[in-house]
């Protein structure tokens, strides 16, 4: 195929990268920690781990796993924590021990956790005590034999650790009662690991680094098998993409998205690889606290999703801390809405750089160049060593400008779903991964994503894309959040419904409809409008859950 997007690459971005420079993720960790030893690696809640300190802590944790727990290469270990310093220590320690990491959302219900632990075959878990009661409900139904517990303040200074853990447990009462036999504390595991030598585990590109679960919002969650080769490739690809705009050893990156999500995980490792200082945000939903923290940090980059950037823009005090030295605001996970992008750039001086990817692609597939001067309204160009094609349902490649399914080929694409050959077969066609997302490529090679296949509404035979409707509605100054969904309709088969969270208390249904009529053709105008004051339901990274809204059966206002 003709890689027309290469003509749009900024100067200095290579068409291909060397995916064999590193043999594995631990290879990257070792070389990065040695190179930037004295610089801060991760910070959280006022405490900082240098690259040297991180190297020592991960060595100790890996040695504990190998010797006390006798875990062997390929064994699965689950991590169930929010963004704390313990996360990168456990993550890199497990990888150094040759284990496969299973990242778990700590807000999982017992049913969801049981499925993921049983399906992955994990035999060990690191869990924040706040969520140990959920593990207690299901542990007897899983293969888990080793439980390492941690408290929020475990890697803070001694006095701060004591005070933080007391407040979390006894003042805020955030630790429900739990009882699991034969657990060990995180700090005790680190202390134990100091006594042992760490055995180097040979790892190559074919070894499995992560079982990263996906699809839980649409059905039974499946484990995407991400190898060290997949992850190394994506780090090399993304590092090349940002290489002309970021300075090694000098960047400060804000990480408010949870590390158990592939977007945050990989983006953190991209900046880790260039020696950045990564600031982990444990609770970004506390927007006033988040903004206060930003005021204390001279940050140069921030990761987020559209809803988070929108929320920050509407949080008092953000305008005063937004300037600083911001070079890059990277947005992924969901479509960026034009009003949010334009307000962000006007306030901060830095454009929102929108990218695109999936769990199955490690995740980065496309990105907008860092040197863009204006919001493009696209998900950007395929990054180095990546091919993208637009295909019809029958697999036929479509011409430029025609909407079809976005298909991807590259070294970052997963090999399979864990123990699900039937599901794996469904998502590959002639070696291309079928994303389930709809979009088109223009003559420059930029890709415009129109929507998820399953979210497209069909109104009187016409396709209506929720993203387009939402982008129009959010442009109304009285709207804070919006989601568009399809609902059954006797006349048109399906009708457009929008659920609107009001910014202006005086906003009416008529206001919304009139605004839409000015900006949308007739069949795209919402037939039903629901006004709310409470936030929309979202995933752990802030994506609006249209599936939940479709099933809520909340009475709507008709027009």
Is the same domain home to 51 and 105? yes
* pLDDT band at residue 216 using 50, 70 and 90 as cut-offs: very low
Domain contains 276:
yes
The region of weakest confidence among 67-76, 353-362, 468-477, 542-551 is 542-551
Is the same domain home to 176 and 270? no
CA distances from 78 to 116, 125, 263, 430 (A): 9, 4, 18, 33
- As a whole number, the mean pLDDT across the chain is 94
Domain contains 433:
no
* pLDDT band at residue 219 using 50, 70 and 90 as cut-offs: low
Instruction: Report the SS3 class of residue 354.
Output: strand
Is the same domain home to 1 and 75? no
- The pLDDT score that the predictor gives to residue 554 is 42
The region of weakest confidence among 129-143, 181-195, 212-226 is 212-226
Domain contains 183:
yes
Domain contains 424:
no
* pLDDT band at residue 373 using 50, 70 and 90 as cut-offs: confident
| pLDDT at residue 316 is higher than 70 | yes
Q: Work out the average pLDDT over 116-140.
A: 98
* pLDDT band at residue 467 using 50, 70 and 90 as cut-offs: confident
Is the same domain home to 274 and 188? no
H, E, C per residue of 235-259: HHHHHHHHCCCCCCCCCEEEECCCC
CA 509, 316, 470, 483 torsion: positive or negative?
A: negative
Boundary residue ending a domain (454, 487, 510): 454
| pLDDT at residue 20 is higher than 50 | yes
Is the same domain home to 248 and 374? yes
Distance CA 411, CA 347 (A): 38
**Do the Cβ atoms of 8 and 446 come closer than 8 Å?**
yes
Is the same domain home to 67 and 154? yes
The region of weakest confidence among 141-145, 158-162, 451-455 is 451-455
Backbone phi, then psi, for 471, in 5-degree steps? -65, -35
**Do the Cβ atoms of 120 and 77 come closer than 8 Å?**
no
CA distances from 189 to 57, 115, 146, 192, 198 (A): 10, 27, 12, 5, 14
The torsion region of residue 511 among left (phi > 0), alpha (psi -120 to 50) and beta comes to alpha
Is the same domain home to 450 and 307? yes
- The pLDDT score that the predictor gives to residue 547 is 85
Q: Work out the average pLDDT over 382-401.
A: 96
Contacts for 131 with CB less than 8 Å, ≥ 6 apart: 80, 106, 107
- The pLDDT score that the predictor gives to residue 552 is 64
Share of the chain above pLDDT 70, in %: 97
Distance CA 482, CA 359 (A): 25
> Residue 119 is part of which domain span?
45-203
Distance CA 402, CA 448 (A): 10
Half-sphere exposure of 169 (CA within 13 A, CB side): 15
Q: Work out the average pLDDT over 304-329.
A: 91
CA distances from 164 to 33, 140, 158, 453 (A): 29, 31, 10, 46
Is the same domain home to 523 and 541? yes
Q: Work out the average pLDDT over 432-459.
A: 91
- The pLDDT score that the predictor gives to residue 4 is 98
* pLDDT band at residue 157 using 50, 70 and 90 as cut-offs: very high
**Do the Cβ atoms of 530 and 498 come closer than 8 Å?**
yes
Boundary residue ending a domain (430, 454, 478): 454
Q: How many domains does the chain have?
A: 3
Is the same domain home to 192 and 247? no
* pLDDT band at residue 555 using 50, 70 and 90 as cut-offs: very low
CATH, residue 132: 3.40.50.980
CA distances from 545 to 293, 380, 468 (A): 28, 24, 17
Backbone phi, then psi, for 495, in 5-degree steps? -130, 155
Domain contains 214:
no
CATH, residue 471: 3.30.300.30
Is the same domain home to 196 and 248? no
Is the same domain home to 280 and 292? yes
| pLDDT at residue 361 is higher than 80 | yes
Domain contains 39:
no
Share of the chain above pLDDT 90, in %: 84
Contacts for 20 with CB less than 8 Å, ≥ 6 apart: 205
Domain contains 431:
no
Quote the DSSP letter at residue 167.
I
**Do the Cβ atoms of 139 and 93 come closer than 8 Å?**
no
Domain contains 211:
no
CA 343, 349, 354, 359 torsion: positive or negative?
A: negative
Quote the DSSP letter at residue 455.
G
Is the same domain home to 469 and 447? no
- The pLDDT score that the predictor gives to residue 287 is 96
Strand partners, 479: 502
Instruction: Report the SS3 class of residue 155.
Output: coil
| pLDDT at residue 218 is higher than 70 | no
């Amino acid at each position: 195929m003709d890689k027309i997007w290469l003509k749009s690459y900024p100067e200095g971005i290579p068409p291909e990268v060397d995916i064999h420079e590193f043999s594995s993720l631990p290879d990257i960790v070792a070389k990065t920690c040695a190179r930037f030893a004295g610089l801060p690696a991760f910070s959280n809640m006022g405490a900082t781990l240098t690259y040297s300190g991180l190297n020592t802590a991960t060595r100790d944790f890996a040695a504990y796993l190998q010797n006390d727990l006798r875990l062997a290469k390929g064994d699965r270990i689950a991590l169930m924590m929010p963004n704390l310093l313990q996360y990168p220590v456990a993550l890199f320690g497990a990888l150094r021990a040759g284990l496969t990491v299973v990242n778990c959302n700590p807000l999982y219900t017992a049913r969801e956790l049981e499925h993921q632990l049983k399906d992955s075959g994990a035999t060990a878990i690191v869990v924040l005590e706040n969520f140990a009661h959920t593990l207690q409900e299901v542990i007897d139904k899983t293969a888990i034999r080793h439980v390492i517990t941690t408290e929020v303040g475990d890697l803070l200074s001694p006095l701060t650790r004591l005070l933080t853990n007391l407040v979390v447990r006894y003042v805020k009462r955030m630790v429900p009662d739990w009882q699991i036999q034969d657990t060990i504390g995180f700090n005790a595991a680190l202390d134990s690991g100091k006594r042992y030598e760490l055995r180097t585990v040979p790892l190559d590109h074919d070894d499995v680094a992560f079982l990263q679960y996906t699809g839980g919002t649409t059905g039974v969650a499946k484990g995407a098998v991400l190898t060290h080769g997949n992850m190394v490739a994506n780090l090399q690809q993304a590092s090349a993409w940002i290489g002309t705009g970021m300075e090694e050893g000098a960047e400060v990156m804000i990480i408010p998205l949870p590390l158990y999500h592939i977007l945050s995980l990989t983006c953190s490792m991209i900046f880790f690889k260039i020696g950045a200082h990564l600031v982990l945000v444990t609770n970004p939903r506390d927007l006033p606290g988040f903004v206060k923290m930003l005021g204390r940090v001279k940050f140069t980059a921030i990761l987020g999703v559209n809803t988070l950037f929108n929320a920050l823009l509407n949080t008092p005090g953000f305008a005063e801390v937004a300037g600083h030295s911001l070079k890059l605001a990277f947005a992924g996970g969901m479509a960026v809405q034009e009003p949010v992008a334009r307000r962000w750039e006007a306030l901060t001086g830095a454009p929102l750089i929108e990218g695109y990817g999936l769990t199955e692609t490690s995740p980065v597939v496309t990105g907008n160049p860092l040197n863009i001067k204006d919001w493009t309204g696209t998900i950007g160009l395929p990054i180095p060593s990546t091919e993208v094609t637009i295909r019809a349902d029958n697999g036929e490649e479509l011409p430029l400008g025609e909407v079809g399914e976005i298909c991807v080929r590259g070294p970052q694409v997963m090999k399979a779903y864990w123990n699900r050959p039937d599901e794996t077969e469904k998502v590959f066609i002639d070696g291309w991964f079928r994303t389930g997302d709809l979009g088109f490529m223009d003559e420059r090679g930029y890709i415009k994503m129109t929507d998820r296949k399953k979210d497209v509404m069909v109104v009187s035979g016409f396709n209506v894309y929720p993203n387009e409707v939402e982008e129009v509605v959010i442009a109304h100054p009285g709207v804070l959040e919006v989601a568009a969904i399809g609902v059954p309709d006797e006349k048109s088969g399906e009708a457009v419904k929008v659920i609107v969270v009001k910014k202006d208390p005086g906003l009416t249904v008529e206001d919304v409809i009139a605004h839409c009529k000015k900006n949308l053709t007739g069949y795209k105008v919402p037939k039903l409008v629901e006004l709310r004051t409470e936030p929309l339901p979202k995933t752990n990274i802030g994506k609006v859950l249209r599936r939940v809204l479709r099933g809520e059966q909340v009475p709507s206002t008709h027009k």
